[in-house]
Amino acid sequence: MEVNPPKQEHLLALKVMRLTKPTLFTNIPVTCEEKDLPGDLFNQLMRDDPSTVNGAEVLMLGEMLTLPQNFGNIFLGETFSSYISVHNDSNQVVKDILVKADLQTSSQRLNLSASNAAVAELKPDCCIDDVIHHEVKEIGTHILVCAVSYTTQAGEKMYFRKFFKFQVLKPLDVKTKFYNAESDLSSVTDEVFLEAQIQNITTSPMFMEKVSLEPSIMYNVTELNSVSQAGECVSTFRSRAYLQPMDTRQYLYCLKPKKEFAEKAGIIKGVTVIGKLDIVWKTNLGERGRLQTSQLQRMAPGYGDVRLSLEAIPDTVNLEEPFHITCKITNCSSERTMDLVLEMCNTNSIHWCGISGRQLGKLHPSSSLCLALTLLSSVQGLQSISGLRLTDTFLKRTYEYDDIAQVCVVSSAIKVES
C-alpha cells in the first residue's frame, strides 16, 4: 500500500491586508427624559463615553476612528492598496526570499510587486513588508495572487502562494444625450449640446470634485454648469457638491467645431467623435476615485449635397420695408463641382427683391460662397422665411429651402431698435 509523505510545513507565513481609510466611529444614543425612572443616568453615561462628541452626545457620529473590519467594496476608478507581510515563524535563517504579487483580471495579469529582486536572508522573527497600489480600471472578478519562494538552511527550495478574490463594482451610472441645433439651417447648426446624467449607485455619499468634458481635436467645448454672479463664476449646484446614494445630477456642455474643421464641409458628417468625460470624486475621508468614459460618438446631421446656412439676419423688421440677410451656400460633396442657379419664390407674406433665376457660377467641392439677399414682408407678426431654390445644372437637380428662419415683423410706426 502506498503511503503519502506528510505535508511539510512552511517556515514563512504570509499575511495580506487591504489598506483603506478608517471610518468615523458611530454609536447608538440611549436617552430618556429626566422625569423617567433612570433620571439622568443614561445622559451621564453618554457624557462619560469617550467615543461621543462633547456637548453633542445624542449624535450617532463620534470623534474616534474605526479601522476597517472587513475587506469592503472596491469600485472602478479607485486605487486598490494592499499591505503584504512575509514573517519568519521558524528558528532558522532562510535565504533567497522572493515575494511576488500579481493581479489577475478578466483580460490581463499585472505584476504589482515594487521589486523583483530576492532578499538575501531573513532571520527568525523578522519580516519582509511591501505595499502595493493599483488603479482599478476593470469591473468584475479580480484575484490577487501572492507567491513566496525561499531556500531553507538545508538548501531545499520551497514555494507557496495564496489567492485573494474580490469583486470590483461600478460606482457611477453615466448616461449621455446629444442635442443638435433647433434648426438644421441656422448659423449654429454645427453646435452640439451634450447632456451627461451621472448617478451615484454606491451606498455612500460622494463629493464630486470634477466633472469635465475633454473634447476631440475637432471641437471646442463650453461648460454650461456655472453662472456669473457679481463677477464670479458660481456653480449651478451651489455648495451642494455631494451626491447622495442613488441621486442623479445632470451636466451640460456645448461643443462647437473649430474654424478649420467647420469650413470644410465634408469633414463633420456621419459618425464623429465628440470627446470623453473625466469624472473625479472623493468618498470616505478623502479617498479619491477617477473615471474616464470611452470616446463619445454622435451621428452628425446630414445636409445633403448642398447646405444653406444663415450668416446674418435681423431679429425684427418693419412692415413693407426691405431688409437684408446673408446666406452661405456650401458644396458638401467631396468630389463633384456644381453649377448653381438661384431661384426666389414669393410666399403669402414674404416677397423677395431681386432677379430670380440668376447664375451663381461653379462651386467646387467643400467650398462655400456668401450671398446677400433682400426681401420684405407684407404681413405683421412672426414670419417664416421660405422660397429659396438652388438648381444644379449639371445634374438637373433642385434643392428646396423652406422655413430657413423667422423674423418678427412690426408696423412701421413702431421704431425697430438696431
| Per-residue pLDDT reduced to its tens digit, 259-288 | 777 655 445 555 578 899 999 999 878 889
- β-pair type (157-169, 74-75): parallel
* Radius of gyration, alpha carbons of the chain: 36
User: 0.85 exceeded by the pTM?
Assistant: no
The model's pLDDT over 34-93, given as tens digits with 9 standing for 90+, comes to: 777 767 777 777 777 777 777 666 666 777 777 777 777 889 999 999 999 999 988 989
Give the pLDDT score at 109: 92
Average pLDDT over residues 193-222: 91
Torsion of CA 302, 303, 305, 311, to 10 degrees: -150
Give the pLDDT score at 181: 63
Cα separations in angstroms, 196 against 100, 199, 212: 42, 10, 10
Residue 139 CA from chain centroid, whole number:
17
C-alpha cell at 262: 467647420
Count of beta carbons in the 10 Å neighbourhood of residue 308: 18
Q: Give which of 138, 189, 196, 194 is closest to 167, Cα–Cα.
A: 138
Give me the count of residues in the chain.
418
Cα separations in angstroms, 392 against 55, 184, 303, 331, 358: 84, 21, 15, 11, 12
Give the pLDDT score at 99: 92
Residue 25 pLDDT > 60: yes
Annotate 19-40 with b (16+ C-beta within 10 A) or e (fewer): ebeebeeeeeeeeeeeeeeeee
The model's pLDDT over 113-157, given as tens digits with 9 standing for 90+, comes to: 877 888 888 899 999 999 999 999 999 999 999 999 999 888 889
Between CA 34 and CA 402 the distance in angstroms is 81
